[in-house]
Amino acid sequence: MNKKILLPMILAFTLLIGACATPTPQATAVPTPTTAPTMAPTTLAPTVAPSPTPLTFTDGLKRTVKLSKPAQRVVSLAPSNTEILFAVGAGKQVVGRDDLSDYPTEAKSVTSIGSTFKKLNTEAVVTLKPDLVLAANLTPAEQVKSLEDLGITVYVLGNPKDFDGLYQNLITVGQMTGHEDEAKKLSESLKTRVKNVTDKIKNATAKPKVFYELDGSDPIKPWTSGPGTFIDTMITVSGGENIGKGLKDQWAQMSSEEIVKQNPDIIVLGDSNYGITAEKVSARAGWQNIAAVKNKKIFPFNPDLASRPGPRLVDGLEAMAKVLQPDLFK
């Protein structure tokens, strides 16, 4: 038989049997839930974010200074501090600076709060809403107190006496402003440059005696740098001997007679930017017999490279080494 005819017949026969059969009553089963009953949601206690650990530092006055987070608005009260801030990458966070902060060039566009050598314009500082004021050892204590009385955080950055102190200052400022990595990289770069100088100085055959003039406005008793200063360190590391190392104070006047007696081989004019020249020094009474004068070893020097305790001190070291040991740094 043809399959196309057989299949409809089978289906019709099956339906007929189902219609004629007497149905047996079936008990209706209660459906069993296939899922567990929904539980009421449990309310969890809100998660409280841990408070950030404050940044804690000890400043140049041995005070403990705390920051809740890296400072984003900084006012600098010293040129060296300004240079450090820009050098570690925090230049955009500097919202105010003292009147003498002129390096780098970008610093000149930052709002000036005026001079810090006279009465500090605290109102100008407050207007800038700083979360950190970076002061220096030369900042008068009353200025620091006046700012703290207004609720402003002040950190006094101490003057380094050697290059290790400089590196630490860079890292500290980097930590306070959120630029620790940049500060560490800068420190390593400066260390390499300093080592380059000290390695060459080992080959020096002579150690010239050096008079560093800070201020010769009184030629009878010019100011110079004594022991424990960075200038003294710079002269020593550069292969020279500072004739002011025997003074009692770090910054002191030395009589003209004493300078003639010490007979320096080299005179470095840290006051050359203020009109002091080799010709004027040579003309001072009694100085014609000094070795440096007779041999024309009087050199002008950029005072910012020696008196501003920032990263350019390494520039100063390299410049000083060329003056004191020219044969090693051609």
**Residues 295-327 pLDDT 10s:** 999 999 999 999 999 999 999 999 999 999 999
Instruction: Work out whether strand 74-76 and strand 94-97 pair parallel, antiparallel, or are unpaired.
Output: parallel
| Superfamily of chain region 205-328 | Nitrogenase molybdenum iron protein domain (3.40.50.1980)
Q: What is the pLDDT of residues 13-22, one digit of tens each?
A: 333 333 333 3
Q: What is the pLDDT of residues 203-242, one digit of tens each?
A: 999 999 999 999 999 999 999 999 989 999 999 999 999 9
In which residue ranges of the chain is CATH 3.40.50.1980 found?
Answer: 55-179, 205-328
Q: Which residues of 157-185 are buried (b: 16+ CB within 10 A; e: fewer)?
A: bbbbbebeebbebbbbbbbbbbbbebbbe
Q: What is the pLDDT of residues 131-154, one digit of tens each?
A: 999 999 889 999 999 999 999 999
DSSP 8-state assignment for residue 101:
-
What count of other Cβ atoms lies within 10 Å of the Cβ of residue 32?
5
Contacts of 186 (CB under 8 A, 6+ apart): 87, 88, 170, 311
Beta strands in the chain (DSSP E): 55-58, 64-67, 74-76, 94-97, 132-136, 154-157, 209-215, 223-225, 241-242, 251-253, 266-269, 298-300
**Contact of 235 with 212, CB cutoff 8 Å:** yes
**Contact of 177 with 146, CB cutoff 8 Å:** no
Under the banding of pLDDT at 50, 70 and 90, the label for residue 2 is: very low
Predicted structure pTM score = 0.82
pLDDT of res. 318: 98
Residue 45 has pLDDT above 70, yes or no: no
**Contact of 246 with 301, CB cutoff 8 Å:** no
Portion of the chain with pLDDT greater than 90, in percent: 79
Residue 29 has pLDDT above 70, yes or no: no
Rounded-to-integer distance, Cα 180 and Cα 276, Å: 41
The region that residue 114 occupies, defined by phi over 0 for left and psi between -120 and 50 for alpha, beta otherwise, is left
CATH class of 55-179: alpha beta
Q: How far is CA 31 from CA 24, 34, 35, 37, in A?
A: 21, 9, 12, 14
pLDDT of res. 54: 86
Average confidence score pLDDT of the chain: 87
Query: How far apart are the two ends of the chain, measured CA to CA in Å?
Result: 117
What count of other Cβ atoms lies within 10 Å of the Cβ of residue 226?
19
Q: What is the pLDDT of residues 77-119, one digit of tens each?
A: 999 999 999 999 999 999 999 999 999 999 999 999 998 887 8
Structure tokens at 206: 């002579």
pLDDT of res. 18: 39
Portion of the chain with pLDDT greater than 70, in percent: 84
Under the banding of pLDDT at 50, 70 and 90, the label for residue 44 is: low
Residue 46 has pLDDT above 90, yes or no: no
Q: Which residues of 123-149 are buried (b: 16+ CB within 10 A; e: fewer)?
A: eebeebebbbbbbbeebeeebbebbee
**Which DSSP string corresponds to 11-23?**
HHHHHHHHHHSPP
Residue 161 has pLDDT above 80, yes or no: yes
pLDDT of res. 119: 84
Under the banding of pLDDT at 50, 70 and 90, the label for residue 53 is: confident
Rounded-to-integer distance, Cα 160 and Cα 127, Å: 31
Contacts of 187 (CB under 8 A, 6+ apart): 167, 170, 171
Under the banding of pLDDT at 50, 70 and 90, the label for residue 43 is: low
Rounded-to-integer distance, Cα 301 and Cα 269, Å: 6
